[in-house]
Amino acid sequence: MTAVNKSPWLRNLSGAVVPLTFPGKVQAGSSATIKSGELCTFDETTGYWIAVNAVADYRYSLAIANEEQKAADLERYMEFVALRPDDVFEFALDASAQIALGDGLTLTASDSQKLTRDIDGSCVAFSIDGSNYPEVGTTIASRTYGQVVFNPVYSYWCQRVLKNNLKKVISTASSITLKIEDCGAVVLVTNTATITPPEATLPIGWNVKLVDCADVVMTFDPKPDTAGVIIKGSAPHTAGNTISVTDAGDFMELLWDGTNWVAVNSISGADGDITLT
């Protein structure tokens, strides 16, 4: 495969008029040349950005080279295009295909400027172009290229700079009432304590994970008082009554369904039980 200089960024769905760029360290050109427009990966084993050369490179963070590293260039920082969730790029496909909206695409072995349609694979990007849909009938036209947005979980910008997948962690040694903003948080309880959800009206889907960290009594007090907890065969447990665990490593992941709290995941330790009060 011989890469060529190109600019695959097309537009941003949220209205940004230029791509977002950032500096990335590359090897001397005598070790690895890079063309503008190549999909690149931050190789943690060497600490440099290199052009994608294997399907499995999705395990590293991805970005797109925005300038060329020539054979005579020294080791340096060069410009890369960040893969933001709303950025649209155009890439060639490794084979003509009837690309539908939402179809997944993976990296292509030994070709840093092509994507491979693979809706059941590790999708690094998704098709967002509907211009190949017919005005009459249901046959989608085949394409040799695709307009795509990249999956944020494979984006260097989203994962290494913005750190999008970090959880909010709340460590407490005393009883607390959570805030609406604590949705999705992991609460680490280090001393006997009662954890109470926000008293305000909560949207369906509000959730929190509670973890007993020190062989202490960790109690969850469902609110409002009309709500119970669906856990351990109780459907639901008596409204307003608490549930508790006592062993380090015990946890309960609770979700508000609009009426009750559902323990979508939980585990109890040495005593083999979760106490319903």
**Domains contained in the chain, number:** 2
Q: What is the pLDDT of residue 6?
A: 96
Q: What is the pLDDT of residue 277?
A: 76
Q: What is the pLDDT of residue 45?
A: 87
Residues 66 and 173 in one domain: no
Rounded to the nearest 5°, which phi and psi values hold at 233? Answer: 85, 0
Q: Which residues of the chain have pLDDT under 70?
A: 1, 233-235, 269-272
Task: Enter the DSSP assignment of 231.
Answer: B
Residues 145 and 111 in one domain: yes
Q: Residue 82 is encoded by which pair of tokens?
A: 């960040």
The CA-atom distances, in angstroms, between 51 and each of 35, 63, 87, 111, 139 are 8, 10, 20, 9, 36
Residues 184 and 228 in one domain: yes
Q: What is the pTM of this model?
A: 0.87
Q: Which of 136, 166, 196 is the last residue of a domain?
A: 166
Residues 53 and 93 in one domain: yes
Residues 133 and 259 in one domain: no
Q: What is the pLDDT of residues 152-172, one digit of tens each?
A: 999 999 999 999 999 999 999
Residues 59 and 154 in one domain: yes
Residues 72 and 86 in one domain: yes
Residues 146 and 270 in one domain: no
Q: What is the pLDDT of residue 261?
A: 95
Residues 174 and 162 in one domain: no
Q: Which of 134, 166, 198 is the last residue of a domain?
A: 166
Q: What is the pLDDT of residue 2?
A: 85
Residue type, 76: R
Residues 9 and 146 in one domain: yes
Q: Using an 8 Å Cβ cutoff, are 21 and 66 in contact? A: yes
Q: Which of 112, 147, 166 is the last residue of a domain?
A: 166
Residues 148 and 223 in one domain: no
Q: Write out the residue range of the structural domain in which residue 207 sits.
A: 169-276
DSSP 43-57: ETTTTEEEE--SGGG
Residues 80 and 150 in one domain: yes
Residues 6 or more apart whose Cβ sits within 8 Å of residue 157? 20, 22, 63, 82, 83, 84
